[in-house]
Chain A
Amino acid sequence: MHEILNDPIDVTVAFTDNRVLPRAMRWNEREYKIDQVNLVHTAREGAKRIFYFSVSDAANYFKLKLDPEILEWRLVELYTDG
């Protein structure tokens, strides 16, 4: 199932080799451990550069959005296998 969302989330990240790597996230009062960061890309929103992290755990794909200006994370896409 593929859902387009825009929900604020809490994210735990690691700063490694000049990279930001999401490790876990909390959404809908549930904790998800992130197994893989599959792709990171950026996009422009007016003057701002927004970062998108395509990550997954064993059963879900999540697309996370980071607004570096206000340091806010949002879950913008969810795909659950099956």
Chain B
Amino acid sequence: MDNTARIILHIDMNSYFASVEQQANPFLRGKPIGITGKNQERSVVATASIEAKALGVKTAMSTWEAKKVCPSIILWPGDPEKYSDIMHRFNAIYESFTPNVEPFSVDESFLDITEEAEDYFGATCMAQAIRSRLYEELGEHITASIGIAPNKLMAKLACETVKPNGLTVVRPHEILDLLDRSELEDLCGIGPRIKERLNALGIANFKQLREFPRENLEREFHSYGTWLHEAALGRVASAPLLFKEGLGVVTSQQEAKSYGHSYTLPQNTSDPRVLKRYLFGLADKVGWRMRRDGVVARRVTAFVRFGDPSTSLGTGFSSHGEQRTFQEPTADGMHLFQIAWKILEPISLVDVRLVGLSTSILSGDPTQPSLFKKERNMTSVLSALDELQHRYGSGIWKRGATLQTEFKSRSSGFHFDHEI
């Protein structure tokens, strides 16, 4: 099928976590609220309500900064299980309209409605019908912005143009107009660094990007240059690295490039035993997600963050991170922990605020049995534990070594990790 003949819907819930809380609690409605971790002093604003955003609060702001910008803000501890349940419900609503639903993040999904809608009039009616169902089944305060376009990239860009509660339709012949009304950074796939490099080439908008010789872009950005050129013409289906390529076809799964978790400790610590326990817990969480997705990694990155900016004249947190690449790929939390600890152990671990670990250089798990009996036994134990976790959720098992380590259930901040 011609790519411009497709009809893609992008639905983005507005200020999702905050809207859910405002739906649940009427006394939070119309007020600036920020969803944080449980330990609010040491947390960030994971989502600001529409009212808080209007007063200058931004996502990922530290809570003390949010309080400074907006003294009236109500900081509210997030409830990941609630957001997960609502997410499953709105995706179920989408699936009642089309089987081609691709969740993109916790609050965003793409729907390929080419066959169901037939044309843009049908697509607009369907978008309104979805909105009515969201209203009826979730409540009037959980709202969504919707973009309709011939591919995912343009549908997402269209969705961003009117918030909250917008509905923007961009037909194939309107794509260049949409791009020319947008800033470079509005497009998913162009971040601040790429924008800076484009600006250095004298490119400040999509028209200039379109007119810039393609071969010069490719010289500067390699294959990404091809993508940028095509994106400026509205001809690519999706953003590189962010979506699985499929030229307009909604795919059911995205490929992760890395897996990671970090955790802000309840109190700063210099005790290596405490740090080891948290790192081990994080390694197990990462390992479980990798095994769930059938991948193994050949690189581990471990990092720590020190200090507290509120006592260091706002100079920000200092941090340290390093990576190790190895030959034998693994998804075992124990191995991941051992590698990560080898990275962190030599560092002076004084006044540590946050600890984290991530894996990369991923490949499919070949499921080749190890030559060593001990490792084969561990593999079968892990697969039994994974099955338990699938069935009963996280927290169903714990290593003895991490028994004294509690990951507070509502302190995940950005990390929507309740399902791990």
Contact = CB atoms under 8 A, between A and B. Distances in A.
A79 B82 contact: no
B23 A39 contact: yes
A54 B396 contact: no
Contact of A38 (B26, B86, B391, B392): B26
A41 B82 CA distance: 6
B139 interface: yes
Interface string B148-179: 00000000000000000000000000000000
Given A39-B139, A43-B81, A54 B392 contact: no
B25 interface: yes
Nearest to A53: B24
B124 to A, nearest CB: 29
A43 B25 contact: no
A54 B25 CA distance: 7
Interface residues of A, number: 17
Contacts of A61: 24-28
Interface stretch (A9-17, A22-30, A44-52): A44-52
Nearest to A38: B24
B27, B76, B139, most chain A CB atoms within 10 A: B27
A6 interface: no
A39 B24 contact: yes
Nearest to A55: B24
Contacts of A81: 27
Interface in B22-43: 23-28
A41 B418 CA distance: 15
Contacts of A52: 82
Interface residues of B, number: 18
Contacts, number: 46
B26 A46 contact: no
Given A38-B139, A39-B139, A47 B23 contact: no
A81 B26 CA distance: 10
A47 B392 contact: yes
B25, B82, B393, most chain A CB atoms within 10 A: B25
B20 A39 contact: yes
A29 to B, nearest CB: 24
A40 B392 CA distance: 21
Interface in B67-89: 76, 81-82, 85-86
A38 B23 CA distance: 6
Interface in A43-77: 43-44, 46-47, 52, 54, 56, 61, 63
B359 to A, nearest CB: 26
B46 to A, nearest CB: 17
Given A38-B139, A52-B82, A44 B24 contact: no
A19 B379 CA distance: 44
29 contacts: A38-B24, A38-B25, A38-B26, A39-B20, A39-B23, A39-B24, A39-B138, A39-B139, A41-B82, A41-B85, A42-B85, A43-B81, A43-B82, A43-B85, A44-B81, A46-B396, A47-B391, A54-B23, A54-B25, A56-B25, A56-B26, A56-B27, A61-B24, A61-B25, A61-B26, A79-B25, A79-B27, A79-B28, A81-B27
Which 7 pairs of residues, A with B, have the shortest CB-CB distance? A54-B24, A43-B81, A61-B25, A41-B85, A81-B27, A39-B24, A44-B393
Interface of A: 2, 36, 38-39, 41-44, 46-47, 52, 54, 56, 61, 63, 79, 81
Given A38-B26, A79-B25, 15 more contacts: A2-B76, A38-B23, A39-B82, A41-B81, A41-B86, A42-B85, A44-B392, A46-B392, A46-B396, A52-B82, A56-B25, A61-B24, A61-B26, A61-B27, A79-B27
Interface of B: 20, 23-28, 76, 81-82, 85-86, 138-139, 391-393, 396
